[in-house]
A = this chain, B = another copy of it.
Amino acid sequence: MRKNQVEIITIGDEILIGQIVDTNSAWMARELNNAGFEVHRTVSVHDNDKQIAAALNEALDKVDIVLITGGIGPTKDDMTKQTLCTFFETELVYNESVYQNIVDLFANRNLQINELTKNQAYVPKCSDIIQNKAGTAPILWFNKSEKVVVAMPGVPYEMQLAMSNDILPRLLERFRTSVLIHKTIQVYGYSESALALKIADWENALPQNIRLAYLPNLAVIKLRLSGVSDEASGLEFTLNRQIESLKEMLGSAIFAYEDVSMEQLIADLLSDQHKTIATAESCTGGYVAHRITAIPGSSRYFRGAVTAYSNDLKISLLGVDRNDLEHEGAVSKTIVEQMAKGARTYLKTDIAIATSGIAGPDGGTDEKPVGSVWISVSTKNETRSRLFRFGNIRNINIQRATQAAFLMLREMLVR
């Protein structure tokens, strides 16, 4: 048995009737992989004591680390805590620090503590407690011989906070033996298979201790190099040399040398250049603005946005010409450029992004089928516009258009 193998158990009837998609497993798997752990398998079971215990037994037969999410809420359908007590032959005891954590949390939210909430402060006697910074259910950490079982809440952001701040660091301290380094570069302008063909010889010649993963998402492919070694500086050197080779092959198709979000990349460029931005959105319906403002501190460079779904708002709020609108239609180069320039003028920014298209599923014509999106980025000196043809799925079209707009903006900022 390898020392760094993990099994993930997600608990909840809602998963097994298909009411929710289990995104916790994927999130945890990705983070664990990045930290050098290997996920052996994932299992989803009902809120049922026998099933939970069986899954736990099977997992501990195979791996050293078992991570559990779900079923530790205050209500009757949540069985995990009681099942863990039975499993570890212990009992629930009152924990004052957990209670205090709940008191603080509720005070912030102006909520009253009731009996059921108070029950959250009862925890298995033999478990280490990690406070939940975003909810009432504490994280329970159990040691069993050389093995570790951790039970977390199923609420995604509570789980993610605990994993990032507490659980991953503790697991790394306890289980990591060799050095693991990940390097991510981000590429655009290639399909996954075209990129794979382009770098095939290089990929085949990678040293044994370096693995490559392709992580495609919308128009972008992340290439992740993961190296394992006994020693950090030599590994760092080897990885950097491999990335130099990639740079020679791919040139300007590489737009980032770290695993950073597109909106953070844009944020850094705009901040560095002391430039302000606005958006004028039609088909993206505010999503570009939402992505920009997801970054803390975005008010330094983001001034505002106009989502002009209706044509007369394109005229009144963005100064689009009524005649042009009638003749060329909203989904046209003329209009998207007027929207971008209008936003720059009316919202008084250095740069503006505009989108106008047919997100679908209906509203397409032969000439302008669903998925047709015009995007324009305008600065004082230059306005660039491009027509994209995406697919038929509304939310994917909105995401793709936003990604494409960010890539166009970035190109204009890095020259």
Contacts and interface: CB of A to CB of B under 8 A. Distances in A.
A206 to B, nearest CB: 10
A413 interface: no
A256 B112 CA distance: 25
B226 A17 contact: yes
Contact of A305 (B30, B211, B214, B307): B307
Contact of A33 (B17, B299, B348): B17
B192 A394 contact: no
A317 B294 contact: no
Contacts of A110: 389
- Copy tally for this chain in the complex stands at 2
Contacts of A47: 213
Given A74-B192, A77-B214, A305-B306, A30 B14 contact: no
A293 B289 CA distance: 13
Max chain B C-beta neighbours (<10 A), residue from A19, A297, A298, A395:
A19
A215 B19 contact: yes
Contact of A288 (B14, B191, B286): B286
Interface in A272-321: 279, 281, 284-290, 292-294, 296-299, 302-310, 312-313, 316-317
Contact of A394 (B58, B289, B294, B305): B294
Given A109-B389, A290-B286, A393-B157, A23 B25 contact: no
A5 B47 CA distance: 16
A277 to B, nearest CB: 10
A114 B26 contact: no
Given A42-B15, A361-B296, A108 B305 contact: no
Looking at chain A, what size class is its interface with the partner chain? 35 or more
Given A75-B193, A292-B285, A391-B108, A14 B224 contact: yes
A214 to B, nearest CB: 5
Contacts of A197: 114-116
B296 A17 contact: no
Interface in A30-46: 30-33, 38-46
Which applies to chain A's interface (DSSP): helix, strand, loop or mixed? Answer: mixed
A137 to B, nearest CB: 10
A391 B134 contact: yes
A27 interface: yes
A157 B396 contact: yes
Nearest to A6: B16
Contacts of A299: 309-310
A49 interface: no
Max chain B C-beta neighbours (<10 A), residue from A27, A108, A293, A371:
A293
Interface in A75-117: 75-77, 108-112, 114-117
Nearest to A43: B43
A238 to B, nearest CB: 19
B302 A309 contact: yes
A149 interface: no
B393 A196 contact: no
Contact of A26 (B20, B308, B316): B20
Contacts of A288: 286
B304 A309 contact: yes
Max chain B C-beta neighbours (<10 A), residue from A17, A74, A192, A211:
A17
Interface string A177-207: 0000010000000011110110000010000
Contacts of A259: 19
Given A286-B287, A288-B286, A307-B289, A76 B203 contact: yes
- Across the A-B interface, give the 10 residue pairs with the lowest CB-CB distance, nearest first: A18-B30, A285-B293, A286-B289, A286-B286, A18-B29, A116-B193, A305-B307, A21-B26, A286-B290, A74-B193
